[in-house]
A = this chain, B = another copy of it.
């Protein structure tokens, strides 16, 4: 999962606006599903973000190509915890976060269905 930092992503200092790193990580999580021909919104099932613990290590600058790396920390009945890290084109780690997602079915907390679990497992080192 490689992506470019564009004009829309940077702020007055020419560096990536802090909350955009969360967007980049969300794109990477969505691509876990899209890359299998599936969607993260599967009928009545989808995930919502419950908790984020994030370290902003170095700034990403306009034009940078960054890479998002996702790995599974813990898979529970209705929730999943992942580590997502962003590196720049010089392989410097610029951002790291642990994110906890909860599975919803028709807007109620639900057990993660098996075909979702499979995706989260098989891509544990994207």
Contacts and interface: CB of A to CB of B under 8 A. Distances in A.
Interface of A: 4, 6-8, 10-14, 17-20, 22-23, 26-27, 30-31, 34, 39-41, 46, 48-56, 59, 62-63
Contacts of A59: 48
A7 B14 CA distance: 11
A61 to B, nearest CB: 9
Number of copies: 4
Contacts of A14: 12
A62 B6 contact: no
A52 B57 CA distance: 12
B7 A49 contact: no
A52 B49 contact: no
